[in-house]
Amino acid sequence: MQPEFLECLPADLAQLVLETEQSIGFPIEVVVVPQRAGGLPGQTDPMACEVEKDSARMLVASNDQFRPSSVLHELLHIRRFLVDGVPKLVDDSDYMPWTPAIRTACTLHDNSFEHLVIVPLELRAFPESRDHWEAVMARGWEGLAAGEGNAVERRQFGLMAWAFLRLILPDSPTLEVARAVLESSNQLEAAEQFCTELFPLLDKKEAAIRVWLRHQQVPFEMVSFRYLDPREQRAWETAIEAVE
């Protein structure tokens, strides 16, 4: 990581960045992308990361949005894929009919699953991040209550956001709003069953994703697992059903 960014971090987080870089064999690059700015005064612009077998980048809207809590969040994503060997869920371009929307949806599913593992670690280190995640949940459920999205989007968001609340923010004031929304669409029982089957498997992503896709009604053949090995400079994809 560039020195001007590394020196902005607490010592323990900076050390974790350096340990990660040593493990993967190349530096983590911070890239300022002004287009990521939301354009609203006082708005917190989320960071993002991009990982491949030979690169890892953190994307930030501006230097003043380079916050330690967000850096830890993105670093945990990077470590999951490049250090721990956890696969990414990616779209299968051989799936017919493939569309760019499938790629976007696949990224959303993978990110939402990863958050169930990453956000508890983020909150343990930075409890103040809870305000951010409470706001994310409140906006999402308010949109769902207002009828935003098509039927598939509404159902899928309802399942993933209910899992997030139940696991990470179980005492959130948004929980009752979410419960009412799910009850009104007769989805509460399905959302509870989703959590019951998913939560015991969170440390076994391949098995957990099969549960996730089945409940989200996403065909297995639409997606694949993508593994990255930075030390061997290898990347490969495997069918969902081919991995135990």
- For every residue of the chain, DSSP letters joined together read --HHHHTTS-HHHHHHHHHHHHHHTSPPEEEE-GGG---STTPPPPPEEEEETTEEEEEESSGGG--HHHHHHHHHHHHHHHTS-PPEEEE-TTSSS--HHHHHHHHHHHHHHHHHHHHHHHHHH-GGGHHHHHHHHHHHHHHHHTT-S-HHHHHHHHHHHHHHHHHH-TT-THHHHHHHHHHHTT-HHHHHHHHHHHGGGTT-HHHHHHHHHHHHT--GGGEEEEEEETTTTEEEEEEGGG--
- Give the separation between CA 81 and CA 95, rounded to whole angstroms: 24
Domain of 7 in residue numbering reads as 1-66
Task: Assess if residue 95 is contained within a domain.
Answer: no
Whose structure tokens read 């209550």? Answer: 145
Q: What pLDDT is attached to residue 11?
A: 98
Residues of the chain with pLDDT under 50: none
Q: What pLDDT is attached to residue 42?
A: 54
Contact present, 55 and 29 (Cβ < 8 Å): yes
Task: Assess if residue 182 is contained within a domain.
Answer: no
Number of domains into which the chain is organized: 1
- Give the separation between CA 176 and CA 11, rounded to whole angstroms: 40
Q: What pLDDT is attached to residue 41?
A: 52
Q: What pLDDT is attached to residue 44?
A: 72
Task: Assess if residue 132 is contained within a domain.
Answer: no
- Give the separation between CA 52 and CA 237, rounded to whole angstroms: 13
Task: Assess if residue 7 is contained within a domain.
Answer: yes
Task: Assess if residue 87 is contained within a domain.
Answer: no
Task: Assess if residue 44 is contained within a domain.
Answer: yes
Q: What pLDDT is attached to residue 71?
A: 98
Task: Assess if residue 52 is contained within a domain.
Answer: yes
**Listed residue (8, 54, 65, 7) closest to 31, CA to CA:** 65
Burial classification of residue 209, based on how many CB atoms lie within 10 Å of its CB (0-12 exposed, 13-18 middle, 19 or more buried): buried
Q: What is this structure's pTM?
A: 0.94
25-43 per-position pLDDT tens digit: 999 999 999 988 775 555 5
Q: What pLDDT is attached to residue 98?
A: 81
Q: What pLDDT is attached to residue 241?
A: 84
Task: Assess if residue 2 is contained within a domain.
Answer: yes
**Listed residue (172, 174, 163, 156) closest to 218, CA to CA:** 156
